[in-house]
Amino acid sequence: MPLQSPSFRWRLLLVVFIVTGVLPAWGAPPVPETPAQRDARIAWWRDARFGMFIHWGPVSLKETEISWSRANSNPACPNQGEIPVEEYDNLYKRFNPVKFDAREWVRIAKASGMKYMVLTAKHGDGFLLFDSKVSDHNIMHTPFGRDVCAELAQAAHEEGMRIGWYFSPMDWRDPDCRSKHNDRFVKNMQAELRELLTNYGKIDLLWFDVDGRSAPWDQENTYALVKQLQPEIVINNRLDYFTRPDQPHVSRPESVGPNADYFTPEQFIGGYEDKTPWESCMTTARSDQWSWGGAKDGVKSLDACIEMLVGCAGGDGNVLLNVGPMPTGEIAPEQATLIKQIGDWLTVAGPSIYGTRGGPFKPGLYGASTRKDNVIYVHIRRWIEDPIRFPALPAKIVGSRILGGGNAEVRQTTSGIEISVAEEYRSQLDTIVALELDCQAGKLAAMDVPRPIPLSEKANVVASNLYQNLPEYDPRKAVDGDPRTRWATDAGVHQASFEIDLGDSKTFRHARIVEAYPNRIQKFELQRQEGTGWKTFYAGSTIGASFVPSFSPVTAQRVRLQVLESTDGPTLWEFQLYR
């Protein structure tokens, strides 16, 4: 009989259990699901739309990035951090977060409108935030000596909060990882998973990670183990997703294998995708660091966080927004305040986020739309045009209202829809216009919203640097209206300027900057020419995949983007100015 025969596997499983009292790591083969069964199992997660990510561990004592700041001790692993191994691996001996309060964490998450929490039970440095019999590199061997996972799971269960674990299959501290002894490593990894999924009651979600290298984690048996222990669990796609070395965190619909449920764009808002579930993982930290970066780190603006929620819900995805608790165990006050502000916004905007699906109007410069039952919620984040124009609907609009109060003027014709809102009823963050239809909004096909033409399209452009003087990276590529072409600078360039001549004096109050390599630019200014000099009218830090700043009206003929700090040669898909 073949070794992999299901009946043989089950008999062997039974014999091992009778003799040892321990189930083998591989468990039972997963039972195939129909698409309808999968959709029913993950329905709560899709309806939730908003969760809290928590990156925490002894590294918070150093205020550096978790795992990645550890120096390399395993050539098969990618970390090349600045903290010597001997120092990093002994941080746990000083880790004593006496102000950790699991109920307070859950209270903060609930007040922020979050519906689930995911804690880094094990990151790539191998430290475990739970009581483990597999590895003694865990929280019980710190001065704190309390099982963080146990306390958080109990608090979440008591408060009705969904709970999940982030679990790194790799352990950069373990010399067996990706070595000739990798099979031995995987058995220990699976044993740790067994503890996490056995000892803490119902676990709703499992968040695997990937580091851009091969994934030799015995996926078939690892998935089987997980689904045997927690049959209803929701699982992301990173256990068996092998990434491109130059884009380690850009996962797509096609990267969701048969045993995973959703894909995971990292640090950017995913595009519209209503067939395969997805979730963007993002950070509250201004620097985009996951673990606590110290008081100097700061937080993103409320506007940036609302952009995440609206953009993801409008694209039919979720947001998993990260906090990095301090070494004391407290969520930093500035992070807690920020996400509480999101919760305040959700007290009004919640019906347009929770339980909705994206569309039918796809996200665009205006904002995004969501839908539920017979209502389309149009999130107008920017009044780049007035009125805002949308494609025609094969349905009749029978009513409209603004969430939070006020009236909208909605005009529907056979050629399209126009929405206008008086200044007094516009929200600085997000004006949400609810359109009531004479049919179910979910039956409507998703459609693109025509983009407004920027003032800067095909304008004359000069730049301070051009990558190897190659014409395919000419600065005019960033104003040609083609999202597939870009301006690029040489490697090692840390400052640059990109100057636009609009031909004559024009007035604008919006810009759009799209970086080809997100977050290379760390500090920049937008400037207008005044006489023979330049005057700054907007200053910012990171740009990311797409950034749309608004400002008081500016009138100028010549405008420039001045990059003051960049980690490497800045490169832009688009630079646009709008009225």
CB 27 within 8 A of CB 221: yes
3-state secondary structure of 326: coil
Lowest mean pLDDT among 25-29, 422-426, 451-455, 456-460: 25-29
Nearest Cα to Cα of residue 239 among 209, 266, 197: 209
Q: In the chain, where does the domain assigned CATH 3.20.20.80 lie?
A: 36-352
DSSP 564: E
Nearest Cα to Cα of residue 290 among 324, 252, 334, 330: 324
CATH for 359-443, options being 2.40.50.140, 1.10.510.10, 2.60.40.1180, 3.10.620.30? 2.60.40.1180
pLDDT at res. 244: 63
Integer Cα distance of 372 and 496 in angstroms: 46
Lowest mean pLDDT among 128-132, 342-346, 512-516: 512-516
Integer Cα distance of 360 and 374 in angstroms: 12
Integer Cα distance of 39 and 274 in angstroms: 12
3-state secondary structure of 521: strand
CB 485 within 8 A of CB 461: no
Find the mean pLDDT for residues 117-139.
98
| Token pair 């994934």: residue | 215
pLDDT at res. 276: 97
DSSP 32: P
Q: How many CB atoms lie within 10 A of CB 139?
A: 24
Find the mean pLDDT for residues 93-115.
98
pLDDT category at 519 given cuts 50, 70, 90 is confident
Its CATH class, for the domain covering 460-578, is mainly beta
- Checking if the pLDDT of 6 tops 70, the result is no
CB 118 within 8 A of CB 233: no
- Kindly give the pairing relationship between strand 460-463 and strand 388-390: unpaired
Beta partners for 51? 116, 320
DSSP 413: E
Integer Cα distance of 54 and 45 in angstroms: 17
pLDDT at res. 5: 34
At 221-242, the pLDDT tens digits run 999 999 999 999 999 999 988 7
- Checking if the pLDDT of 20 tops 50, the result is no
- Checking if the pLDDT of 182 tops 90, the result is yes
Continuous segment of H or E residues that includes residue 141: none
pLDDT at res. 178: 96
Strand ranges inside 222-323, DSSP E: 234-235, 279-283, 318-323
Q: Which residue has the higher pLDDT, 543 or 53?
A: 53
- Checking if the pLDDT of 29 tops 70, the result is no
Q: Which residue has the higher pLDDT, 58 or 8?
A: 58
At 248-287, the pLDDT tens digits run 677 889 999 999 999 999 998 999 999 999 999 999 998 8
CATH for 36-352, options being 3.40.50.970, 3.20.20.80, 2.30.30.100, 3.40.50.11240? 3.20.20.80
CB 139 within 8 A of CB 129: yes
Q: What is the residue type of 514?
A: V
pLDDT at res. 86: 98
The model's pTM:
0.88
pLDDT at res. 188: 98
Residue 19, CB half-sphere, CA atoms under 13 Å: how many?
A: 7
Find the mean pLDDT for residues 123-142.
98
| Token pair 């959709």: residue | 39
pLDDT at res. 550: 87
Calculate helix-pair angle for 333-349, 302-314, nearest 10 degrees.
50
Q: In the chain, where does the domain assigned CATH 2.60.40.1180 lie?
A: 359-443
Q: What is the residue type of 270?
A: G
